């Protein structure tokens, strides 16, 4: 399988609403859901300061080499080419989100971050997602706020309030994972499940704790080790009380970046290994002992979302698959 731009359109924009009744009555934790890793990095800004998520030596190099260093950082920080709307149109429903304030900036504003700050604020991304949900009433998204940098209690409250302001009654209350089916969400008119990995969200009924969506991280550059890790963590997946994220991604080391400095993450590490990773994805099965959410870098380089969505057909009997 060769990687290539797929001319992403809106073919999967309503995939949840188009599922057969048997699957809409199945707990979401047993369905296959496509997601993106570092979902917001199409906004990474070469003009922005280096983020507080970076090591001291990276910040030092950026002060010495300035925009040259940042241009290299963009190549290794950017993991997605598509905007939130384009990802949603393609069928992506899980978003991996990292946020930070800008230490030198007054006010409470919060930005997406991965090495460098995004050029738009978090509210812009949330509004883009909400605009999609208004047009696609049966689609549901997972928003996973799993890293927070330079955020004191006041900023956490600001972000949690922003989520409630933007999504309002679309936010699903924290409850038993097993009770969450598409039918249940449609009945309640819920479309957004927010996971907030910080104690500041405790006590807020529409913020789900991070321990309800474990996302084991292989932290390897080798696809064979990645697949072994994914298989092992799936076999150890908790049977009750949680969703599960399989991060089908490779992570560069300092040595990797040094060797492929001018090439970047996509050209040096991702493209050549995507066929192997996608072979693993295609061989999966959702259900009680199978995959749930699967994330990828550069979701537009293959038919990633479509492949993951079609895995749900494996939960249907031959009779269920016949058109009515």
| Residues annotated as catalytic (active site), given as ranges | 37, 114
- Rounded Cα–Cα distance for residues 273 and 270 (Å): 5
First vs last Cα of the chain: how many Å apart? 34
- Rounded Cα–Cα distance for residues 47 and 100 (Å): 16
Q: Of 193, 102, 187, 108, give the one whose Cα is nearest residue 149.
A: 102
CA distances from 321 to 258, 313, 318 (A): 50, 7, 5
Tokens of 112: 């997406």
- Rounded Cα–Cα distance for residues 246 and 29 (Å): 12
Neighbours of 20 (CB within 10 A): 16
CA distances from 259 to 50, 63, 315 (A): 22, 22, 44
- Rounded Cα–Cα distance for residues 27 and 241 (Å): 11
């Amino acid at each position: 399988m060769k990687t290539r731009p797929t001319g992403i359109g809106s073919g999967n924009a309503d995939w949840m609403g188009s599922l057969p009744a048997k699957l809409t009555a199945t707990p979401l934790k047993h369905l296959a859901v496509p997601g993106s890793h570092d979902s917001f990095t199409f906004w990474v800004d070469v003009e922005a300061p280096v983020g507080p998520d970076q090591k001291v030596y990276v910040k030092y190099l950026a002060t010495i080499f300035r925009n040259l260093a940042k241009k290299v950082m963009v190549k290794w920080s950017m993991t997605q080419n598509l905007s939130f709307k384009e990802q949603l149109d393609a069928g992506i429903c899980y978003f991996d989100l990292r946020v930070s304030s800008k230490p030198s900036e007054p006010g409470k504003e919060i930005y997406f971050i991965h090495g460098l700050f995004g050029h738009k604020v978090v509210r812009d991304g949330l509004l883009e997602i909400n605009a999609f949900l208004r047009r696609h009433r049966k689609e549901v998204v997972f928003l996973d706020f799993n890293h927070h940098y330079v955020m004191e209690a006041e900023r956490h409250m600001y972000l949690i309030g922003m989520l409630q302001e933007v999504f309002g009654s679309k936010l699903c209350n924290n409850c038993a994972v097993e009770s969450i089916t598409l039918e249940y969400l449609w009945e309640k008119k819920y479309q957004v499940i927010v996971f907030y990995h910080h104690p500041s969200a405790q006590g807020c009924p529409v913020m789900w704790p991070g321990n309800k969506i474990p996302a084991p991280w292989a932290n390897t550059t080798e696809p064979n080790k990645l697949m072994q890790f994914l298989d092992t963590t799936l076999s150890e997946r908790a049977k009750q009380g949680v969703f599960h994220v399989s991060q089908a991604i490779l992570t560069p080391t300092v040595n990797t970046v040094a060797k492929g400095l001018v090439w970047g993450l996509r050209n040096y590490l991702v493209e050549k290994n995507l066929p192997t990773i996608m072979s693993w994805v295609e061989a999966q099965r959702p259900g009680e002992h199978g995959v749930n959410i699967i994330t990828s870098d550069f979701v537009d380089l293959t038919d990633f979302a479509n492949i993951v969505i079609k895995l749900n057909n494996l939960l249907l009997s031959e009779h269920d698959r016949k058109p009515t």
